[in-house]
Structure 1
Amino acid sequence: MFPRFVLISHASISRSLRAALPALLAFACIHPSARAAAPVQSQGSWVAAWASAMQSIPDLADPPPLYRTPDVAGRTVRQIVYPTVSGSGVRIRVSNAYGRGPLTLSYVALAQSAGGAATRAGTSVGVTFGGKAAVTLKPGAEIDSDPIRAAVTAGEPYAISLVAGPNQTMTAWHRVANQINYVSTPGDHAAETSPSAFARKFTESAWVSALEVRAPAAGAVVAIGDSITDGLRSSLNRNHRWPDALARRLAERGTAPAAVLNLGISGNRLLSDSPCYGEALERRFERDALGQPGVGTVIVLVGINDINFASMPPRAGLDCDFPHTAVTARDLIDGYRRLIERAHRSGVRIVGATLTPASLPPAREAVRKAVNDWIRTSHAFDSVVDFDGALRDGAHPDRLQRRFDSGDHIHPSDDGYAAMAAAVPLDTVSASHR
């Protein structure tokens, strides 16, 4: 059960200050779902238990169906998250990264999920920001909530309900959540356990970029990359992406607890931004990877879209593959070296993952092979995960094994994602700093 009081601390937009700001006092949230209980001292350091990478939504008057957003003005958005490490004491990070206007939330609540849009009775707890239930963020800003005196369990679903301001729109999201989330009819439905008000479903997520917990001796492993880390074409609502399976492997190992955070964005590139597929990974690396509380290791799998998008035909209207920048193996290697330098400067281990087979034509396949050869032999990364070796067809190494192919010859099936997780050497993935 969630307790009835929250511990309030200074909210901070500067991530470097968040861990240093002390808790001030405890008081009840001003909302019907808030209840009273005695405050307690949380133990352990803050670590991100779940995270998601934000990306801009194309700004078009009449976007194609994939980029049409739900009407959220004055409604409650309920999103389901699965923390990958347990802890007591919770913070929710709200993000307006890439937002084109202010983000106003009049109330936020956390509850145990009861399946679908339903929540468990008596578990809803209000969230405050600097002691206030409402928060407004300028474009580009993000904020951690005040600590909530609550406990979360790794692998269990939790519902985060966010009541949007009366004129709020959604201008940034994470497009491929592989999780059904919900939008209510007009009104504040944050405290409701019934799913009846949440008729609108969508498979994106928005505004919440992390759920953080206090957990003694815990650390985090960040998986960052493109659609293959994002889990595109894995089973909806099943948590069958390779970072999910890696989290389960680490939990079964039974040593120090380690969160696994999925910061993949489908279509993402290492070197180039996209109107649809997010800021280039090397430019979002600081915030999305190195800025996660408790991060000790980052696994990088990116580059296949850099190789491919130069050959994609330009499209009138929304051209998601723009700019169609041609890259060489050297271009990608130089980009990886910049990531390595930044990770090491932050005291974080960085693991390079080989690019998986994608049935590329010969010229592009030669670039992929050259990049993989460098990842395997250069010793520039702290260690290597050979996803290519785990998935490729022995007779046709430019192709996925049939049993690991989701059907598009690029993205793995659920079994393929499981094979990727199994290929990660656990002794090289440390949740603690270098």
Structure 2
Amino acid sequence: MPIRLPVAAFALAAVLSVTGPAQAVPAWQAAWTTSLQSIPDLTDPPALYAKPEVAGRTVRQVIYPDLDGREARLRISNRYGSRPLVIEHAVIARSNGATGLVPGTAAAVTFAGRATLTLAPGAEADSDVIAMDVVRGKPLAVSLALGPHQTMQAWHRVANRINFISKAGDYAQTVAGTDLRGRTTHYAWVTQLSVPAAGPGSLVAIGDSITDGMRSTFGARHSWPEDLARLAAAEGLPPLAVLNAGISGNRLLSDSPCYGERLVGRFDHDAALPGVRAVILLIGINDIDFADTPPRRGLDCDAPHTKVTANDLIDGYKRVIEAAHRRGLRIFGGTLTPAALPPAREALRQTVNQWIRHGGGFDGVIDFDAALRDPQHPTRLLPAYNSGDGIHPNDAGYAAMARAVPLTKLRDILSHP
């Protein structure tokens, strides 16, 4: 199991003060998260899987929290690493939306009182409490100055935005960002930002590329979870963190050399986050599709090409539902969206969707299939929602998915777990 370092401020909260009884340890609520996947360890990888050079450099990553707070806490992860992770200096600040920081907002990030952090393979650490203003929807920059021999061994490959890498040196506190001219479209190491509990509870959206926001407008934050958070705010609901635990290419039942640990294996870690009360699950189309993709020489990201039946997928859903209920979480099943599949695979999708809708396993159903399909050709996406590949929605399609989520019912579940 991952190891989390103790947070010194928690221990202090339990000590009696001179003026009165001990203060209660605050409840924390995740306001932003991302899920990691291991990087194929190849000498000469394809360009899409080439690791950026990070040894002795500073990596600055921009995140958008869904909740407000006067304090924050970061989680750093070496979950899929095979070598220690060494961070020599960490800083969080308001981002100017590009490489730079908003002057006067930088705060040091420490771990058990120390400025440096070394994490063994598989370990994770929560930072000490950081005194800073977190504003919903306003970007924060997390800058990590890395050890001289550090490599990137895990990432969230499709960050759908640009993050920044410096030349050699510690530029964690550099405001202008002119020395951070390297570019990467991944997230790495930083997997969560939490604030003191600020609302009725958070929601996790977990699944594959359609949850990850693949083929939405780059940098525009138009995945359906981001659209859902904005929709809730526009309708005047209490602040809602919709935490995106999607991984492009992910499958329910099979690990992948490129697309991460199977969801039945990663669910407990990636979905059971601080303050989360409900989950929306949307996954299975890659299990159906990758069985018949042709094997590739060298790096075959779709391997293993496992044939699945409807019962295989249903059994997998039942395992995830059981895991959610074991942790006291409500779980909604999302129907599999149209993907212009050949007849045999389409029949499998329809059988699975029938169970999701009527099998009684989920606490509720989000009919994403109905929201996106073309009424004239129900095996296909509505043309107005098609990004162009016949599988992934465009921005309008992701917005339609967000509108398909019953916000009133969701609000009631989050408010009365």
Question: Residues of 1 paired with 2:13 and 2:365: CA distance?
Answer: 44
Equivalent residue, structure 2, for 1:35:
none
Aligned to 1:70: 52
Q: How many residues align?
A: 406
Displacement of 1:216 after TM fit? 3.4
Superposition deviation, residue 14 in structure 1 = 4.2
Alpha-carbon separation, structure 2, partners of 1:315 and 1:159? 38
**Structure 1 residues 42 and 48, CA, compared in 2 at 3 Å: closer, same or farther?**
farther
- Whole-angstrom distance in 2 between the partners of 1:20 and 1:112: 23
Q: 1:178 aligns with which of 137, 160, 164?
A: 160
The one of 320, 327, 333 aligned to 1:346 = 327
**Match of residue 335, structure 1, among 293, 302, 316:** 316
Which of 350, 353, 368 lines up with 1:369 in the alignment?
A: 350
Give the one of 86, 101, 122 matched to 2:104.
122
What letter corresponds to residue 61 of structure 2 in structure 1?
Q
Residues 355-394 of structure 1: matches in 2 within 5 Å? 355-394=336-375
Alpha-carbon distance in structure 1 between the residues aligned to 2:8 and 2:70:
16
Contact kept in structure 2, 1:95 and 1:142, CA below 8 Å: yes
- Residue aligning to 1:31: none
CA gap of 1:180–1:133, structure 2 versus 1, over 3 A, is same
Residue aligning to 1:140: 122
Distance 1:218-1:76 versus aligned 2 partners, 3 A rule: farther
**Partner Cα separation in structure 1 for residue 191 and residue 98 of structure 2:** 21
- CA distance, structure 1, for counterparts of residue 185 and residue 136 of structure 2: 22
The structure-2 alpha-carbon separation of the partners of 1:20 and 1:342, relative to structure 1 and needing over 3 Å to count, comes to farther
Match of 1:198 in 2: 180
Deviations 1:168-204 (A, max 9, x none): 0001000000010000011110111112111111111
**Residues 309-328 of structure 1 mapped to structure 2, 5 A cutoff:** 309-328=290-309
Partner SS for 1:431: helix
Q: Distance in 2 between matches of 1:54 and 1:433?
A: 31
Structure-2 separation of matches of 1:391 and 1:287 = 30
Answer whether contact 1:108 1:161 (CA < 8 A) is retained: yes
Q: Do the aligned partners of 2:4 and 2:126 also contact (CA within 8 Å) in 1?
A: no
Q: CA deviation at 1:379?
A: 2.0
Query: What is the CA–CA distance in structure 1 between the aligned matches of 2:402 and 2:228, rounded to whole Å?
Result: 5
Is 2:242 aligned against 1:260?
yes
Which among 388, 393, 396 is matched to residue 407 of structure 1? Answer: 388
RMSD, matched Cα = 1.9
Counterpart Cα distance in 1 of 2:77 and 2:61: 14
Cα distance change of structure 1 residues 223 and 391 upon mapping to structure 2, 3 Å threshold: same
- Separation (CA, whole Å) in 2 of partners of 1:184 and 1:151: 26
CA shift, 1:431, in A, is: 3.3
* Cα distance between partner residues in 2 of 1:164 and 1:182: 13
1:154 paired residue number: 136
Secondary structure of the residue aligned to 1:399 is strand
The one-letter code of the counterpart of 1:314 is: P
Q: CA deviation at 1:137?
A: 0.5
In 1: Cα distance, 2:84 partner to 2:110 partner: 18
Deviation of the 1:218 alpha carbon = 4.1
Q: 1:347 to 1:24 in 2, by over 3 A?
A: closer
Change (3 A) 1:228 1:19: farther
Establish whether residue 418 from structure 1 lines up as the match of residue 399 from structure 2. Answer: yes
Number of the residue aligned with 2:11: 22
Aligned partner letter, 2:174? E
Deviations 1:272-329 (CA, angstroms, capped at 9, x unpaired): 0000000000100000002x10010000000000001110111111110111000011
Please state if 1:431 is matched with 2:414: yes
Looking at structure 1, the residues matched to 203 and 390 of structure 2 have their Cα atoms a distance apart, in angstroms, of 28
1:104 equivalent in alignment to 2:62: no
Provide, for residues 139-168 of structure 1, a one-character-per-residue CA deviation record: whole Å limited to 9, x for no partner.
Answer: 111110000011201111110000010110
SS, match of residue 157 in structure 2: coil
Alignment of 1:268-287 (within 5 A): 268-287=250-269
Which of 232, 247, 250 is the matching residue for 2:214?
232
| In 2, Cα distance between equivalents of 1:305 and 1:433 | 34
- C-alpha change, 1:305 and 1:71, in structure 2 (3 Å) is same
Q: Secondary structure at the match of 2:392?
A: coil
Q: Counterpart amino acid of 1:336? A: Y
Matching residue's letter, 2:177: P
For residues 169 and 119 of structure 2, the distance between their equivalents in structure 1, rounded to whole angstroms, comes to 21
5+ residue gaps, structure 2, are 15-22
For residue 44 of structure 1, report the CA deviation from its aligned partner: 5.3
Equivalent pair of 2:66/2:239 in contact (CA under 8 Å): no
CA distance in 1: counterparts of 2:123 and 2:317, whole angstroms:
27
**What percentage of residue pairs aligned between the two structures are identical?**
57
Distance 1:67 1:18 in 2: 35
2:410 is the alignment partner of 1:398:
no
3-state secondary structure, aligned to 2:241: strand
CA distance in 1, matches of 2:414, 2:93: 27
Distance 2:116 2:155 in 1: 20
Aligned with 2:169 (options 184, 187, 201): 187
Query: What is the distance in 2 between the residues matched to 1:81 and 1:43?
Result: 26
CA distance in 1 between partners of 2:116 and 2:263 (Å): 32
CA drift at 1:380: 1.2
Q: TM-score, normalised by structure 2?
A: 0.94
Counterpart in the other structure of 2:18: none
What is the letter of the counterpart of residue 406 of structure 1?
S
The whole-number CA distance in structure 2 between the counterparts of 1:376 and 1:20 is: 46
After superposition, residues 13-52 of structure 1 pair within 5 angstroms as 13-14=3-4, 21-23=10-12, 45-52=27-34
TM-score scaled by length of structure 1: 0.90
